Amino acid sequence: MLDGSWTAGFGNYWKAEYLTGIPDTMLDVLAEYLRDITSPLSDFKLVVLGGAAARVAPGATAVAHRDAPYVLNINSRWALPGDAEPHVTWTRRLWEAMRPFSAGGTYVNFLGDEGPDRVRAAYDEATYQRLVDLKTRYDPDNVFRINQNIGPRSGG
């Protein structure tokens, strides 16, 4: 839906988090960060979850955290060439300020290069272990790893 706006010639950095709700105190924090936004191309999105996705039985798919009512996606974007530091810092600071409202975890498709702990946070434990089992069975050499990688169990 939004891919057309992600054209070449721009730097991008994003972070995301599931939220427990949208209280007024959180809106106040968001307003504060909007006053200090570092690029007119940056934004954040609050996505309402629930509906059919929330009614799927736990473990039926790899999508976890179906009980979270919202997800926050913070995107910084700036023209290249340009200094990434202020934009990345703005995104990280806003994300940290939103952590008190976190439901835990994150949506895997909204992850950047954040490391294995954040990839693991995208899944509940049972789902993560099921994905490790599948990876071990079908890709024990971790050939398909240029992604939000879940590695195989060592020793295949």
Domain that holds residue 152: 124-156
Residue 103 lies in a domain: yes
Residue 128 lies in a domain: yes
Residue 2 lies in a domain: no
The reported pLDDT for the residue numbered 2 is: 64
Contact 9, 94 (CB under 8 A): no
The better pLDDT of the pair 2, 61 is held by 61
- For 72-98, what is each residue's pLDDT tens digit? 999 999 999 999 999 999 999 999 999
- For 120-151, what is each residue's pLDDT tens digit? 999 989 889 999 999 999 999 999 999 999 99
Residue 75 lies in a domain: yes
Report the first-to-last Cα separation within the chain, whole angstroms: 38
- Does the pLDDT of residue 62 top 70, yes or no? yes
The reported pLDDT for the residue numbered 156 is: 47
Residue 3 lies in a domain: no
Q: How far apart are CA 17 and CA 7, in angstroms?
A: 25
- Does the pLDDT of residue 101 top 50, yes or no? yes
What's the whole-model pTM score?
A: 0.84
Q: Are residues 13 and 32 in the same domain?
A: yes
- For 19-50, what is each residue's pLDDT tens digit? 999 999 999 999 999 999 999 999 999 999 88
Q: Are residues 34 and 56 in the same domain?
A: yes
The reported pLDDT for the residue numbered 23 is: 94
In Å, how far from its chain's centre is CA 80?
Answer: 24
Residue 1 lies in a domain: no
Q: Are residues 153 and 97 in the same domain?
A: no
Our count of domains for the chain comes to: 2
The better pLDDT of the pair 136, 111 is held by 136
- Does the pLDDT of residue 1 top 80, yes or no? no
Q: How far apart are CA 32 and CA 23, in angstroms?
A: 15
Q: Are residues 54 and 98 in the same domain?
A: yes
